[in-house]
Amino acid sequence: MDIDVDEASRPKEGKPILVILVGAPGSGKSTFCEQVMRSSTRPWVRVCQDTIGNGKAGSKAQCLSSAANALKDDKSVFIDRCNLDRDQRSEFVKLGGVHKVDVHAVVLDLPAKLCISRSVKRTGHEGNLQGGKAAAVVNRMLQKKELPKLSEGYNRITFCQNESDVKDAVNTYSSLGPLDNLPHGCFGQKNPDSKVQVGIMKFLKKVAAPDAAARPDGTGNTTSQTPGKIDSSDKDVEMASPTLDSPNLESKEGESQGVALNGSHASRVSLDDAPTLAFPSISTSDFQFNYEKAADIIVEKVAEFTAKLGNARLVLVDLTHKSKILSLVKAKASEKHIDTQKFLTHVGDITKLHSSGGLNCNVIANAANWRLKPGGGGVNAAIFNAAGPELESATKERAKSLSPGNAVVVPLPASSPLFVTEGVTHVIHVLGPNMNPQRPNCLNNDYEKGCKILQDAYASLFEGFASIVRTQLGQSREENENIVEKALKLQDKSECCSRNNLTNIDQKNKRDADHGSEKSKKCKGILDSFRVSSDSRDERVDSEHRRNDGSMNKAWGSWAQALHQMAMHPEKHKDDLLEISEDVVVLNDLYPKSQKHVLIVSRTRGVDSLADVQKEHFQLLKNMHDVGLKWARKFLDENASLVFRLGYHSAPSMRQLHLHVISQDFDSKHLKNKKHWNSFNTAFFRDSVDVMDEVSSHGKATLKDDDKLLSMELRCDRCRSAHPNIPRLKSHIASCKAPFPAYLLENGRLVHATAEP
């Protein structure tokens, strides 16, 4: 809609990935591979140990060799083995580092009864694991099950705990095109494995009955005693969940505690299955900020953000159980009745939370210095030392410095020791106010200003974490279906609907599919003319977002990332940009819909479209509008006959909030169809002045995202006469002398030579 380009010069292949399937016999690993490979546009190779030896069972070494050869040929690989423990997986994970590709795990953690039932009933299995003998084998293998963790070296782990989850995962990988990436992190782990299925042997007897000949005694009795076999009692025994007493200041190092509510016991929370941010108290150590005031601000911001973070958790960390700030925060949080499942305190080293404290935190905060450099003491030095040079290098790519009250999210490279040993995927640098006269930028005890900066610092920190959470949780079932639907619909609409059984398609996805060919064109021109290269770290953090109202924003494909890449890395595109500032970049729309058509692109992370705009973004909107006015007036100095309109599309096709500055002549060979016209001449196009008014008054803009708007009949933007096609409309508007509609002449919606500056 914003930029048309040709598909022909789009790169043909992207980076391959290595997907290690994890699951017992009968969990559906081979079926998973077949379903993905049947519909995927990405080249895949399935490596199966049951068939690796010329159609017969082979060795692990053969699988490793076959996988390595496929990766060298730029093909993505499925490792179709059980891979139920870490040792079985480790050598395959190492292949990712050798070949510099992402390593994924897809865990088919389905109920044991289902796996056993499938194994017993199947016939013609490649590895001949079927019939009655399969039951004992599956039971024995499940006793060794060790679920994978990011710390093993994975970039992404998808847990499937039922057949619906498996279908979603199939859809996700089927829709992964040659250029596409998936966000990193853990997805789908709903319930930690906390129950022992003591009644499983009773079930084994039932399912094994049809194949008596396979039993050692040839009877209907189960006689084998397999290692680790569970007692055949009919009672289900649930493992006791460890509990925590109410918080006290004498807790041991490495102990996590929920904030006490009325002195009751609180269950220890397993953080393996939820995004978790561990953060130190900002500014209270070396910067000497008042503890009472800091504790009030921490609790205030925690209370505000826990309501927005879903099942994600925040953990306040300090080194000593005698910590005054931990004591104050726990007391104040208890008074506020903050959910103990979403906010914990922890005594321990923030760089060793997993290895020493048993606490799994995928994101940690660093109390940074303004230079974003290693050195000094305390948390900053400890985190940079623990993360290795990878963190310093990754930080430099994100930001050169940091001002008080701000934070910057840095995806941690998989080679970093913190990633490998602790499972930390992101570090968020945050800078608070300084009250220490021995340090730079001391506020001289100005706590009115200091409190405001500290509030901003925690808000920036938690917003950064929220952006990571949105990324890692963005692959909901509905979204996966939509991604698959759109990808396949471009090839064959009817085949897509029948193959994926996607019968309930919302209007927005229909419109996106209709735009498919146009979007494919855009990808080529942007990648070619603007030389946009994919930034893996940007993709890891920002590729998908959840709308602020809780609804799902659409998944931005690789073709839609170009404006985002230019805004985040303008230094790489200086020749293609008209202007670069701290807030925005300005560029010509590559395929303008009028004589003059430029885009004012925001450089603010996490604001992909109007759907993400909130009240705090008002100044950003104002700055974008002012820059747009400046360029409109520059064009008017060159041609006073032009008239300009400034506005946003309700549902843009390109990621990163951008303002259109477009002359109202619509004299362009690139204006080709009804959707082009209606996207600028219906309520789908939101005037900048109206958006600013709504955000200022109500905290958000009204979105006119209705498919009917783009499919409306063609009408002149002045006299409103109807026309059958674009050529007839263009012929009419070239000579139409009618004035603009009255509403456009109000509130500065139109910019022209006679308008007041």
Residue range 86-114, pLDDT digits in tens: 988 999 999 999 999 999 999 999 888 88
Give the CA distances from residue 478 to residues 481, 483, 506, 558, in Å, rounded to whole numbers and listed in that order: 5, 9, 11, 20
pLDDT, tens digit, 9 for 90 and up, residues 46-83: 999 888 877 778 888 999 999 999 999 999 999 999 99
Answer whether residue 480 is part of any domain.
no
Strand-by-strand arrangement of the 76-80 sheet = 44-48, 76-80, 17-22, 102-108, 156-160, 185-187
Residue 410, token pair as written in the block: 């840095």
Structure token pair of residue 282: 């900002």
Q: How many C-beta atoms lie closer than 10 Å to residue 632's C-beta? A: 24
Asked whether residue 423 falls in the same domain as residue 274, the answer is yes
CATH code at 730?
Answer: 3.30.428.10
The verdict on residue 491 lying in a domain is no
Cβ 445 vs Cβ 293: under 8 Å: no
Average pLDDT over residues 307-326: 86
Strands 714-715 and 722-723 turn out to be antiparallel
Q: How many CB atoms lie within 10 A of CB 716?
A: 15
CATH of the domain at 80: 3.40.50.300
Instruction: Please report the pLDDT score of residue 681 as a whole number.
Output: 95
- 408 and 428 part of one domain: yes
The predicted model gives 502-506 an average pLDDT of 41
**180 with 293, same domain?**
no
Last residue of a domain, one of 426, 446, 472: 472
Residue 214: closest CA among 131, 121, 123: 131
Q: Is residue 425 part of a domain?
A: yes
Does 279 share its domain with 303?
A: yes
426, 625, 658, 676: which one is catalytic?
658
Distance CA 617, CA 33 (A): 45
In a domain, 412, yes or no: yes
Give the DSSP letter string of 292-356. Answer: HHHHHHHHHHHHHHHTTSTT-EEEEEES-TT-HHHHHHHHHHHHTT--TTTEEEEES-TTSTTTT
Maximal CA-CA distance, the chain: 100
Strands across the sheet with 343-347, in order? Answer: 256-258, 343-347, 313-318, 276-280, 363-367, 426-430, 407-411
Supply the range of the domain harboring residue 538.
527-752
Listing DSSP states for 234-273 in one string gives: SS-EEPPPPEEPSP-TTPPTT-EEEPPSTT--EEPPP-TT
Q: Give the model's pLDDT for residue 421.
A: 81
- Rounded distance between C-alpha atoms, residue 313 and residue 346, angstroms: 12
Residue 184 inside a domain? The answer is yes
Q: What is the pLDDT of residue 124?
A: 60
Task: For residue 686, give the nearest of 755, 613, 587, 605 by alpha carbon.
Answer: 613
Tell me 740's DSSP state: P
Mean pLDDT across the stretch 596-614?
A: 93
* Residues 295, 189 share a domain: no
Report the first-to-last Cα separation within the chain, whole angstroms: 30
DSSP 409: E
Domain stop point among 454, 472, 490: 472
3-state SS, residue 407 = strand
For residues 475 and 549, the answer to whether their CB atoms sit within 8 Å is no
Q: Where are the beta strands (DSSP E) in 564-653?
A: 579-580, 584-588, 597-602, 643-649
More confident residue, 108 or 491: 108
pLDDT, tens digit (0-9, with 9 covering 90-100), for 263-312: 333 333 344 457 899 999 999 988 999 999 999 999 999 998 887 777 78
Query: Is 625 labeled as catalytic in the residue annotation?
Result: no
Q: Using an 8 Å Cβ cutoff, are 191 and 110 in contact?
A: no
Alpha-carbon gap, residue 274 to 282, rounded angstroms: 24
CA–CA separation, 61 and 74 (whole Å): 20
* Helical H segments across 579-640, by residue range: 618-638
- Verify that 50 and 75 share a domain, yes or no: yes
- Residue 391 to residues 195, 266, 384, 499, 534: CA-CA distances in angstroms? 39, 36, 7, 44, 20
Q: Do 382 and 267 belong to one domain?
A: yes
Q: How far apart are CA 568 and CA 562, in angstroms?
A: 10
The tens digit of pLDDT for each residue in 328-379 reads 999 999 888 888 888 989 899 999 988 876 788 989 999 999 889 887 778 9
CA distance 624 to 556: 23
b/e per residue, 171-195, with b = 16+ CB within 10 A?
bbbbbbebbbbbbbbbbbbeeeeee
Cα(563)–Cα(580) distance, integer angstroms: 13
- 203 and 234 in a common domain: yes
Residues 6+ apart with CB under 8 A from 592: 662, 668, 670
Q: Are residues 211 and 258 in the same domain?
A: no
Instruction: Name the DSSP letter for residue 251.
Output: P
Q: Please give the Cα distance from 594 to 670 (Å, whole number).
A: 8
**Residue 693 burial class via C-beta count within 10 angstroms: exposed 0-12, middle 13-18, buried 19 and up:** middle
- Give the residue, 514 or 344, on which the prediction is more confident: 344
Question: Tell me: the pLDDT tens digits for 700-730?
Answer: 999 887 778 898 999 999 999 999 999 999 9
- pLDDT tier for residue 410 given thresholds of 50, 70 and 90: very high
Q: Which of 232-246, 288-302, 508-522 has the highest mean pLDDT?
A: 288-302
Question: Average per-residue pLDDT in the chain?
Answer: 77
Question: In the prediction, which pLDDT does 607 show?
Answer: 92
Q: Where are the beta strands (DSSP E) in 357-450?
A: 363-367, 407-411, 426-430
Phi, psi values for residue 47, rounded to 5°:
-110, 110
Lowest-pLDDT range of 360-369, 403-412, 510-519, 747-756:
510-519
The DSSP 8-state label assigned to residue 470 in this structure reads: H
Instruction: Quickly state the pLDDT bin for 494 (edges 50, 70, 90).
Output: very low
Supply the DSSP string of 656-700, one letter for each residue.
Answer: S-EEEEEETT---TT--SHHHHHHHHSTTEEEHHHHHHHHHHHSS
Question: Rounded CA gap, 750 and 718, in Å?
Answer: 13
Residue at a domain's end among 426, 448, 472: 472
Specify the DSSP class assigned to residue 439: S
Same domain, residue pair 48 and 190: yes
Rounded Cα–Cα distance for residues 565 and 602 (Å): 11
Distance between CA atoms of residues 704 and 702, nearest Å: 7
Average pLDDT score over residue span 212-218: 36
Two tokens, residue 583: 């807030």
Does 7 reside within a domain?
Answer: no
The pLDDT assigned to 307 comes to 77
Same domain, 683 and 746: yes
The bridge status of strand 276-280 relative to strand 313-318 is parallel
Separation of alpha carbons 654 and 2, rounded Å: 7
304 and 230 together in one domain: no
Q: How far is CA 440 from the centre of its chain?
A: 36
pLDDT in tens, 526-585: 444 333 333 333 333 343 333 333 333 445 655 678 898 899 999 988 888 999 998 999
Residue 599's DSSP bridge partners are 587, 660
Amino acid at 538: D
**pLDDT tier at 466 (50, 70, 90 boundaries)?**
confident
Query: Is the per-residue pLDDT at 207 higher than 50?
Result: no
* Position 203 in a domain: yes
172, part of any domain: yes
52/46 Cα distance (integer angstroms)? 10
Among 420, 404, 345, residue whose Cα is nearest residue 372: 404
Give the count of domains, the chain: 3
Structure tokens given for 118: 């499938």
